[in-house]
Amino acid sequence: DLHSFPTRRSSDLWQISTVLSTMHFIEACDIKVNLTLRVLAKRADGYHEIHSLFWRIRSPETMKISISTEDRISVFGAEIPGENILSRVCCYLRSRYPDVPLPPLDIELFKHIPMGSGVGAGSGNAAALLRWFRRNFRREAAPSGELARLGADVAFLASDYALALADGVGEILHGIDELLSLSAVFFFPEWSTDTGEAYRSIDRFRLLSEGKYDTINAAEARRESLDILKRLQKHTRVGLLPNDFNLALSSKRACYDSAYDLFDSAGAVAWGLCGSGSACFALFERASGGVQNLMESLSRKSTDTFPWLHKTMVLR
């Protein structure tokens, strides 16, 4: 029992590390759904303030962590260009906790979610590694502002919240001690979305609208989130969920509209865009049969109806 070690002396940490070296760990990864997402004022540093209602869902992605002689990250099911976020997490942990002898790690990551889909899957991988570290080396969570620098959704997915209101750039979290009992169906298109370009698209739209588009303020956005949460908890039909990134979908709007129509006809409680895109999702009462209706309806559609649909996923 790793938690039987009574102190954090260096000898105890060495003993913990020694025990870990004989084991391997399977860690589950989570994703997040933005039940609301409002893009507020643009800051002097170029980032935008947001308000969002985050909901955590367990994803099919997992990672196997073992102690090794050198850091090694193997990814199965996807190709990740550039530096893997898990490498940044390892560097961060060794810098943030120099008193902890974090040994070299052999990490096997099993991916199932397409990149650039807006559900924070990469942040969920990072958060799983952070939680593993906290649990086995008995360290408190770092400030959310630090974690947000690792990835936009890391602070939330590394927290213990199932639901949270998020402000700032997503790192200011207000946990909600309630649960949401719904099933989610995700449609992953054949394209991905670049988050920076999505924000620039919103800026261009608002500039060209010459003030005709009214930006919601933070207080209004919070009231909106709490109202939608209350309705979803009662399984009251909401329809299209508010997400300002819908403004950036002009070239793909027909595709999303066809998905939303299908969600509507299948009896979904709510539906919308995942974060800044590119995936979209629908929420169903678990006992309603709506998920089955949706999948049966989708199977009857010709490939010409949804030629852009790369993958579907049901998470309960």
| Residue 219 confidence (pLDDT) | 95
Strands (E), the chain: 24-42, 48-67, 72-76, 105-110, 163-167, 172-176, 183-189, 239-240, 270-273, 280-284, 309-315
When pLDDT is cut at 50, 70 and 90, the band that residue 4 belongs to is very low
Q: Is the pLDDT of residue 256 over 90?
A: yes
pLDDT at site 218: 93
Full DSSP string of 101-159: ----EEEEEE--S-TTSSS-HHHHHHHHHHHHHHHHHT-PPPPHHHHHTT-TTHHHHTS
pLDDT given at position 22: 59
Find all residues with CB under 8 Å of 57, minimum gap 6, and list them.
30, 31, 32, 33, 184, 315
Higher pLDDT, 152 or 165: 165
**Residue 148 carries which side chain, given as an amino acid letter?**
A
More confident site: 48 or 211: 48
pLDDT at 49: 93
**pLDDT category, 7, cuts 50, 70, 90?**
very low
Average pLDDT score, the chain: 89
For 23, list phi and psi in degrees, rounded to 5.
-130, 165
Q: What is the pLDDT of residue 29?
A: 97
- pLDDT-based confidence at 83, cuts 50/70/90? confident
Which one of 1, 12, 30, 32 is the catalytic residue?
32
Angle at alpha carbon of residue 196, lines to 192 and 200, rounded to 5°: 110
Model confidence pLDDT, tens digit, residues 167-224: 999 999 999 998 899 999 999 999 998 888 889 888 888 888 776 666 789 999 999 9
Question: What pLDDT is stored for residue 241 in this prediction?
Answer: 98
Round to the nearest angstrom and report the end-to-end CA distance of the chain: 32
pLDDT, tens digit, for every residue of 56-69? Answer: 999 999 999 999 99
Share of the chain above pLDDT 90, in %: 69
Q: Is residue 6 predicted with pLDDT exceeding 90?
A: no
Average pLDDT in the 50-60 region? Answer: 97
What tokens does 62 get?
Answer: 């997992």
Instruction: Quote the pLDDT of residue 9.
Output: 52
| Residue 32 among the catalytic residues | yes
Q: Comparing 52-61, 194-203, 254-263, 273-282, which segment has the lowest mean pLDDT?
A: 194-203
Report residue 1's pLDDT band, with 50, 70 and 90 as the boundaries.
very low
Checking if the pLDDT of 15 tops 70, the result is no
Q: How far apart are CA 188 and CA 113, in angstroms?
A: 8
Q: Among this protein's residues, is 153 annotated catalytic?
A: yes
* Average pLDDT estimate for 219-248: 95
- pLDDT score for 3: 35
- 145 or 251, greater pLDDT: 145
Whose tokens are 């985050």? That residue is 54
Instruction: Supply 205's token pair.
Output: 């739209």
State the pairing for strand pair 105-110/163-167. Answer: unpaired
Catalytic residue selected from 1, 42, 45, 153 = 153
Residues 6+ away with beta carbon under 8 Å from 148: 154, 155, 168, 169, 170, 171
Q: Is residue 81 scored above 70 in pLDDT?
A: yes
In this prediction, residues 257-280 reach a mean pLDDT of 95
Query: Does residue 158 contact residue 127 with C-beta atoms inside 8 Å?
Result: yes
Q: How many CB atoms lie within 10 A of CB 285?
A: 15
**Rounded average pLDDT over 34-53:** 92
CA distance 181 to 293: 19
Question: What does the pLDDT average to over 89-102?
Answer: 91
